């Protein structure tokens, strides 16, 4: 008896052949199989859908570029299934909502979007979910393939040794910044107000009046999870704020709401969704106490006094931070702010665009400072979403320049790692092409593909 996998592949080939014959006999083809990758078919309609949405962003013939991109994605998805590489629904939904809202903004209204897409909002979201699930899973698979790519200092030096100076990467202006931070005092009356709100929400859920998800969408100040009804991905205890984790991991009943938890972000109530090994999935509602202007003004006056003592030499900026700053991330670091990059690397240097993403208020202040100069007190929103008061000192500024191994080793290391990673991906694709059944409709073969090996 023929194996099921071989039978499925044979059926796909027969289906492709039938469509090819049909296309010869009739020019007005409604749909057809244009590529087969493994057990998966790529249809003309798939290509057309991507062409209409992304065609203007593509370089080259869309009828060559798009099928190849879809084929690559199928190779990565196939391997991801083998290696059990998955992306959580909460991570996917963040991209779905962002994509949906962008489309909504362009269309002007939900009705116009549904009319243009010829689908209901629910159907649009479902289609976007499948699209982003595939895209993010393929990205996660690429990261997995290159996870072992490492380079040594000697490799970095060898790579850049013979490169002409005008071909070296151009490094934008970078700064190192020190911060002294004070959190304005929050009156107990304001804390009590927030706790009473959360108790009211918990009571409404516990007595069945309203669902936790509905209240999270309406009132939670964690905007990322609020759009998902307060839902967070599976997380371990060490990945969460200790105050939040201690309460969350004590929960056992999925129908009950936790007591109020306090974290660096504010105050929360939490509802258990599921536990899986040493990880849990929950939803939460975050509320932050409001900071009154009078308390902000008081903090700014204190900072004025600290700044005067630093300028007069009574205390150094570093010692002032160590003994008086409320920001634990910089307090034990002489006030130096660290840039935690998406690559996992940490640096004390910020490009101005990175500093602006960290805090627009801080970037505006730093942009006016000379090296060694200290700012006047100002307010900013910190990474926890809280309003804080601060003074900043510009420690160093490195102007735009060509990369050199002494000052820019981490950046140059990143360039070499990226190149080595792409070589690893290219080798993986070549091997996967050789071991995967691939068939391309003859009418779709006349292409200058980015990756050789599709046509055997």
CB 371 within 8 A of CB 398: no
Looking at per-residue pLDDT, the higher value among 167 and 135 belongs to 135
* 417 contacts 151 by C-beta, under 8 angstroms: yes
Lowest mean pLDDT among 66-75, 139-148, 231-240, 249-258: 231-240
User: In terms of pLDDT, which residue wins out, 60 or 145?
Assistant: 145
CATH number for 188-287 (one of 3.40.47.10, 3.10.50.40, 3.40.50.300, 1.20.210.10): it is: 3.10.50.40
Given this model, what pLDDT does residue 56 score? 67
Res. 122 pLDDT band, cuts 50 70 90: confident
| Res. 11 pLDDT band, cuts 50 70 90 | very low
Q: What was the pLDDT predicted at 28?
A: 45
16 pLDDT above the threshold of 70: no
CA pair distance 186, 243, nearest whole angstrom:
18
Rg over alpha carbons for the chain, rounded to the nearest Å, is 28
* Residue 24 confidence (pLDDT): 41
Instruction: For domain 174-185+292-402, give the fold.
Output: Chitinase A; domain 3 (3.10.50)
Position 342 scores a pLDDT of: 64
CA angle centred on 326, ends 359 and 183, rounded to 5°:
70
How far is it, in rounded angstroms, from Cα 120 to Cα 241? 39
More confident residue, 53 or 246: 246
Distance CA(351)–CA(199), nearest Å, equals 43
174-185+292-402 matches 188-287 in fold: yes
Integer CA distances (angstroms), 121 to 50, 109, 114, 242, 396, in order: 19, 11, 6, 38, 50
Torsion of Cα atoms, 70 then 72 then 76 then 82, to 10°: 90
Domain-wise residue ranges, the chain: 174-185+292-402, 188-287
Average pLDDT of span 400-428: 88
Residue linked to tokens 């804080």: 388
Query: What predicted TM-score, i.e. pTM, was given to this entire model?
Result: 0.62
SS (H, E, C) the chain: CCCHHHHHHHHHHHHHHHHHHHHHHCCCCCCCEEEEECCEEEEHHHHHHHHHHHHHHCCCCHHHHHHHHHHHHHHHHHHHHHCCCCCCHHHHHHHHHHHHHHHHHHHCCHHHHHHHHCCCHHHHHHHHHHHHHHHHHHHHHHHHHCCCCCCCHHHHHHHHHCCCHHHCCEECCEEEEEEEEECCCCCHHHHHHHHHHHHHHHHHHHCCCCCHHHHHHHHCCCHHHHCCCCECCCEEHHHCCHHHHHHHCCCCCCCCECCCEEECCEEEEEEEEEEECCEEEEEEEEECCCCCHHHHHHHHHHHHHHHHHHHCCCCCHHHHHHHHCCCHHHHCCCCECCEECCCCCEECCEEHHHHHHHCHHHHHHHCCCCCCCECCCEEEECCCCCEEEEEEEEEEEECCEECCCCCCHHHHHHHHHHHHHHHHHHHHHHHHHHHCCEEECHHHCCCCCCCCCCCC
Token digits of residue 404: 């050199």
Q: What is the pLDDT of residues 339-378, one digit of tens each?
A: 877 666 788 889 999 999 889 999 999 999 999 999 999 9
Q: Residue 274, exposed/middle/buried by CB under 10 A (0-12, 13-18, 19+)? A: exposed
């Amino acid at each position: 008896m023929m194996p099921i996998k071989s039978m499925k592949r044979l059926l796909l080939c027969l289906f492709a052949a039938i469509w090819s014959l049909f296309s010869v006999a009739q020019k007005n083809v409604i749909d057809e199989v244009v590529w087969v990758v493994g057990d998966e078919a790529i249809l003309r309609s798939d290509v057309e859908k991507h062409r209409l949405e992304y065609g203007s962003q593509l370089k080259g013939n869309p009828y060559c570029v798009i099928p190849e991109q879809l084929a690559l994605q199928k190779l990565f998805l196939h391997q991801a299934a083998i290696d059990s590489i998955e992306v959580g629904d909460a991570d996917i939904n963040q991209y779905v909502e962002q994509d949906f809202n962008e489309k909504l903004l362009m269309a002007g209204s939900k009705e116009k979007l549904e009319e243009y897409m010829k689908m209901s909002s629910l159907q649009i979201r479902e289609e976007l979910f499948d699209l982003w699930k595939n895209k993010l899973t393929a990205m996660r698979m690429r990261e997995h393939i290159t996870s072992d790519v490492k380079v040594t200092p000697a490799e970095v030096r060898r790579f850049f040794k013979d490169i002409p100076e005008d071909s070296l990467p151009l490094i934008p202006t970078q700064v190192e910044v020190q911060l002294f931070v004070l959190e304005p005092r929050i009156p107990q009356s304001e804390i009590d107000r927030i706790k009473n709100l959360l108790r009211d929400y918990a009571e409404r859920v516990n007595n069945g009046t309203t669902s936790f998800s509905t209240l999270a969408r309406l009132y939670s100040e964690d905007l990322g999870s609020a759009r998902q009804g307060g839902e967070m991905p599976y997380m371990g205890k060490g990945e969460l704020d200790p105050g939040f984790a201690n309460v969350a991991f004590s929960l056992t009943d999925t129908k009950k709401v936790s007591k109020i938890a306090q974290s660096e972000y504010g105050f929360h109530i939490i509802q258990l969704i599921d536990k899986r090994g040493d990880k849990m999935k929950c939803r939460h509602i975050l509320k932050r106490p409001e900071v009154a202007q009078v308390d902000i003004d008081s903090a700014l006056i204190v900072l004025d006094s600290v700044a005067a003592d630093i300028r007069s030499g009574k205390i150094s900026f570093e010692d002032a931070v160590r003994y008086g700053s409320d920001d634990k991330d910089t307090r034990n670091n002489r006030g130096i702010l660290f840039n935690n990059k998406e690559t996992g690397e940490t640096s004390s240097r910020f490009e101005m665009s990175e500093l602006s993403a960290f805090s627009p208020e801080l970037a505006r202040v730093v942009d006016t400072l000379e090296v060694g100069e200290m700012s006047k007190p100002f307010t900013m929103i910190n990474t926890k979403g809280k309003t804080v008061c601060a003074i900043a000192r510009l420690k160093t500024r490195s102007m735009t320049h060509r990369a050199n191994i002494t000052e820019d080793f981490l950046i140059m290391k990143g360039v070499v790692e990226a190149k080595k990673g792409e070589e690893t991906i290219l080798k993986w694709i070549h091997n996967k092409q050789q071991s995967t059944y691939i068939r391309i409709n003859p009418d779709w073969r006349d292409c200058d593909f980015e990756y050789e090996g599709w046509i055997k």
